[in-house]
Amino acid sequence: MDVKGYKFVRWRVWLTRLAAVLSLGLILLLFHWRPRLAILARCCSCSLASAEILTLKDSYGRQHVVEVLQEVAEEGSLELVGEPEDNEWRDTVTLYKEEKTVLRYYVFEGQRYMWLDRKGAFCLVSVLSEDWTCLDLHGYQNGLSLQEQKSRRRTYGANIIDVPVKSYVKLLFEEVLNPFYVFQVFSIILWMIDEYYIYAVCIFVISMLSICISLYEIHKQSVTLHNMAQVITTVTIRRDSGLEESVSSVNLVPGDCLVIPPEGMLMPCDAVLLTGECLVNESMLTGESIPVLKTPLPHTEKAYSSESERRHTLFCGTTLIQARGGGPRGSSTIAVVVNTGFFTAKGRLVSSILHPRPMNFRFYRDSAKFLLVLGFVALVGSIYSFVILFRNNETVKSLIIRGLDIVTIVVPPALPAAMTTATIYAQHRLKSHGVFCISPPCINVCAKVSVFCFDKTGTLTEEGLDVWGVMEGGPAGFSELVSGPSLLPPGGHLLSGLACCHTVTLLNGQPLGDPLDLRMVESTSWTLQEPEDDGEVLNAEFGGHRVLAVMRPPAQQLQAEETATSEALAIVQRFPFSSALQRMSVVTVTQGGRSALAFIKGSPEKVASLCRAESVPSQFSSYLNSFSKEGLRVLALAFKPLDRDTDLTTIQRKEVEKDMEFLGLLMMKNLVKPESAQAINILNLASLRTIMVTGDNILTAVNVAKSCGMVGSDERVIFVNTTPYTAHDTPTLMFNLEEDAVSNQNSAVVSLGLYQEDSRYHLAISGDSFASLCNYFPEYLPKVLLRTTVFARMTPDQKTQLVKELQKLNYCVGMCGDGANDCGALKAADVGVSLSEAEASVASPFTSKTNNISCVPLLIREARCSLVTSFSLFAYMAMYSLIQFCSVLILYTVKMVLFDEQFLFIDIVLVTFVALVMGRGGPSAVLHPVRPPASLLSLPVMGSIFIHLSLVLLGQLAAILIARSEDWYVPQNLTNTEPSIENTTVFYSSGFQYIFIAVVVTKGYPHKKPLYHNVLYLCLLLVLTAIMIWLVVYPGYFTAEFFTLYNITNIEFKMLLLGLAALNFIICFFAEVLIEMGVLNCLHLLRGTRPSKKQYKCLNKLLSNSPSWPPLNELLPCMSYGPLSQLAVVYPPLDTQPPKLMQ
């Protein structure tokens, strides 16, 4: 963030107060809207070291103002036990020493930033513990002293995620000071002065109702978020004296030693597990409903990170279902607090809800710009009215009031509220289909999605897997394929590895864990047993080792062959699965502790790389490719014996996972969900690009992509392969055709004409190649991204990076996953859809209870319907203001005005009800290939408004001119309180215009159902038309008196007015039809053809004209070295230089 310091200047402060009094508080209102102006007026710039006020500019360019707070530190409270240099710590948190030590900090979005004198800047207080290593955390196992905890609490603050719930009075004050309501107050005062009492009172009542509803909703949401965010409970911590003490979770600080009860708890902070194991439900954070087993943090010198050590970290807000002690004699489960308050994972998520990133959507940007256009129109109208009224010898008061009244007419204050009705209706329709949205503005954004990324397992394919076969392997090769582990020889290591290498645990006697692990263990027929009470019985059975779980073979195996490996095995150490490492491992011992074995399970490529080369069968690659091409999920297993004298509880993962002996392959069938192919086909027909992002094998991923329709049966797949940089070799890049395609045709023939219209291809790339591509071949990255459909073996961080790289190409990116490993990508995407049973997941703006991707086409259809309806509402509200603007100026010209009751009828009866029900209806049943436009300032939209404005103006002028040309017309010299022919004629003609313009701007095909499907809307239009016909033909005495209508007795003139309204409607309707057909697009020919502003469109056009890309089977050397951050992403020359791409 860009931070600047200021301090108050006394004479400026007093001068500002005087200006506030003289301006009757208007300058304070301006300061409320623009706090930075208040700082510039009251303060002068200074160094950060002496600043009292700071201005912050965040990464989105938004300005914020915060106050620097100070606290006096107690004597000796800045010393931390365990820090190597006390003076270094004191220098870190102390700004200056006069007589007392002062801590200076500010709070921004819930997080505390402390002044660090050594760095000369304000830094997050979390920086004080960012250098902790895993060994450092184990050093806190004995707990903190009371004095240490107090000093840290003063530095880090209270452990609370405080979402303030403002009182109704404060909310009312803030709501009334909103520019929208300030404009309403200004308008009401103006109308009261102009003696529009009834209209002013009605608008006041409506505004108060709107404020009350808004306050209730805001307060309700604040209370809900407050209750969800705040976790205050009583916890047990360990002091350095060895005693355990119960304290409030508010007092927890980083470094506290937390004692977790066996029955579990709701985590009030982020903590790292040091001893024991915990079964955790993380659905609140990730949307993943499957409990996760957390294991102790290893004793390494590696720097601790909550992301890289997720399987050892207990996150705030998650529920610990159960805990098992891991110390000697079944001692308690111990964890050390690493983050508190808004620095926790939950705190960061709550902060993202309270302070969402700005919606950089063109529709919302253009709507704000269009208000400026209306403001300019209001200025022109005010000048015109001033001139006309001045020539009519109006008083100065009347000149001012009439001029300002034009502003209240042209700039509709209800425009922002009216435009939200479309998203509200869409949100309710989505909710009825099981799709929940926590950010309604994202609905319109979803209408512009151009590429959608999908996770594979659990999203495109079924969550559960079935064991398809097992094949033992060794130096002599692979043995015969068997259909299940239970058919393996009972004494084999492969069977033992399949039974033990997992993180399945028991809850109330029922096994819980990853579906893959559950199915694997079930197929072995072995039984899982966990320690009871202090676990001493099982510990004694297995040689005194601390037992986490025991796997016992079925009785028939024991009877079949009495061997050492056919007996029960105890799991004494687990290294859980890591997406980054692509593997997991366990350490086991036999009964009596006679021998110890380590087993590893993971991706075949990774496991094989950790095995001794001579133990891996020579046919490994061919079998792996064969099984993967069939769409099977392939896992490899390996083992090695461990020295009995090794301390198995502290053995490091890197020591276990090396020099392994290859055991064999496990194949599991992961069926594609039947809804996946249907949904992908719908997206393909709608010309929406689809991408698969998975952690699975690349050949398996390609097979699934073909099964679900991402890759057509007649389309080729090209693999992108890279070699990393080494001390001896430079990185290389190569494009290889799929083996089947090469076997059928010569590669040179295949590559010829790859970009011809009748030939399509897809690229597939692995995570390692993607990383090398980003680091060493950034010049090729955009072109590869443009054509890649399958991203395999991708880590969670790489998924997030992929989304961001696609956004750099100006794609509007959607991401659909089932939570867990997809959280980062779901948040980074423009539209994130989480498949979860929860009604709302903070992992993404959209959550679907339907556990398949059929929700994605539904969401896009609803979003397009919402965006199109928002356009219609915008056009209608703009035309409503402009029609009334024309009416008022015409009447000013003839020395007349619209009456109070007429304004009320138009605004409330004709316009408000129409705007409220226009958003009803629903989306089209078919997803159209053409996306709806998002720009309000485009030629069709602005041209449509200008043409309709001209036509309605001509309609009103024609009505007055016809009335004045009638034989029975007699010029009148009336006051503004008496009925007149001109007023009545304009009221009649404009009344019909408000109705038929709603029909004209209401869009249907191809993104929305036709108008007649919105029955309520259609009935309302018919009723309003009937009312207007009644008012024209025979209003009656009381109605005419109420609306101050002139008694027109000529029935032919009344019929003429109805005919003129019908003609006006027909002309406007056909004009809109011609505009939709693209008549105005011919004006684009005058300016010539312009390149698209979307980078991916420019690049696509460039590549389509380049038959030499991609070069098949050619080694492309790296042009330069270094990470992507040091290289500019440029397009290499193909046949021609690409055009300059506009951001």
Residues with catalytic roles: 455
* DSSP symbols for 612-663: -GGGS-TTHHHHHHHHHHTTEEEEEEEEEEE-TTS-TTT--HHHHSSSBEEE
d(CA 284, CA 665): 35
Q: Which residues contact 4 (CB under 8 A, 6 or more apart)?
A: 45, 48, 54, 55
Residues 6 or more apart whose Cβ sits within 8 Å of residue 254: 129, 152, 156, 337, 338, 339, 340
Tell me how crowded residue 946 is: count the other CB atoms within 10 A of its CB. Answer: 11
Residue 682: Cβ within 10 Å count: 20
Separation CA 955–CA 489 (nearest Å): 92
Please, which residues have CB within 8 angstroms of residue 453's CB and are 6 or more apart in sequence?
690, 691, 692, 693, 799, 802, 803, 806, 813, 814, 815, 816, 825, 829
What is the maximum span of the chain, computed from C-alpha positions, in angstroms? 120
CA atoms within 13 A on the CB side of 1028: 29
For residue 826, the surrounding DSSP H or E stretch is: helix 823-828
In terms of Cβ atoms closer than 10 Å to its own Cβ (0-12, 13-18, 19+), residue 1105 is exposed
Cα torsion through 913, 916, 918, 923, rounded to 10: -150
The Cα 162–Cα 1003 span in angstroms is 45
| Through-space distance between the first and last CA atoms of the chain, rounded to whole angstroms | 23
Q: Which spans in 932-1050 are helix H?
A: 939-965, 981-1001, 1015-1033, 1037-1043
Instruction: Kindly state the tokens that stand for 461.
Output: 């394919």
Do 692 and 794 meet the contact criterion of CB atoms below 8 Å apart? no
DSSP strand pairing (265-266 vs 319-324): antiparallel
SS (H, E, C) 578-622: ECCCCEEEEEEEEHHHCCEEEEEEECHHHHHHCECHHHCCCCHHH
CA distances from 305 to 87, 133, 776 (A): 26, 9, 26
Angstrom distance (rounded) from CA 364 to CA 420: 11
Residue 810 has φ and ψ, to the nearest 5°, of 70, 20
Task: State both tokens at 886.
Answer: 């024309």
Q: H-type helices in 1051-1134, by residue range?
A: 1051-1076, 1084-1087, 1095-1104
CA distance 1093 to 675: 35
Q: Residue 787: CB partners within 8 Å, gap ≥ 6? A: 761, 762, 763, 1103, 1110
Is residue 116 within 8 Å of residue 123, measured between CB atoms? yes
* Nearest CA among 723, 726, 724 for reference residue 736: 723
Tokens 């919105």 correspond to what residue?
1014
| Identity of the residue numbered 602 | G
Contacts of 235 (CB under 8 A, 6+ apart): 246, 247, 248, 249, 252, 258, 259, 265, 268
DSSP 1009-1026: --GGG-HHHHHHHHHHHH
Write the CB contacts of 465 (distance below 8 Å, at least 6 apart in sequence): 515, 516, 519, 633, 668, 669, 670
DSSP SS3 for 728: coil
